Amino acid sequence: MGVGVVPSDANFCLFGRFADRHDVWQRLLDRGVLVRETGPAGYLRVSAGTEEEMERFYAALAEVLAEGAPRLEGPGLERKP
């Protein structure tokens, strides 16, 4: 999909880097998908859900990205060993 994902061993992950994460959060919410607007600037957090929930998340995110959600350029976050 072209978004960065921060590696995680938890039941959630950070994804982004969006120029306006609140806008992306709102557009996902408008589609019935709730993610957290927390963490480093430009990132949103999604928790692992059921297969159906994750399919709804991916479909909603694809729609939002297709609408042209502006993304930030440059290096993102990396997990340190």
What is the pLDDT at residue 79?
52
The answer to whether residue 2 scores a pLDDT higher than 90 is: no
Can you give the pTM of this predicted structure?
A: 0.86
What is the pLDDT at residue 27?
96
Tokens of 62: 């694809």
CB-based burial label for 3 (10 Å; 0-12, 13-18, 19+): middle
Helix locations, 1-81, DSSP H: 21-30, 51-66
- Cα distance between residue 57 and residue 48, in whole Å: 10
Tokens of 78: 């990396």
How do residues 3-52 score in pLDDT, each as one tens digit? 989 988 999 999 999 999 999 999 999 999 999 999 899 999 999 999 99
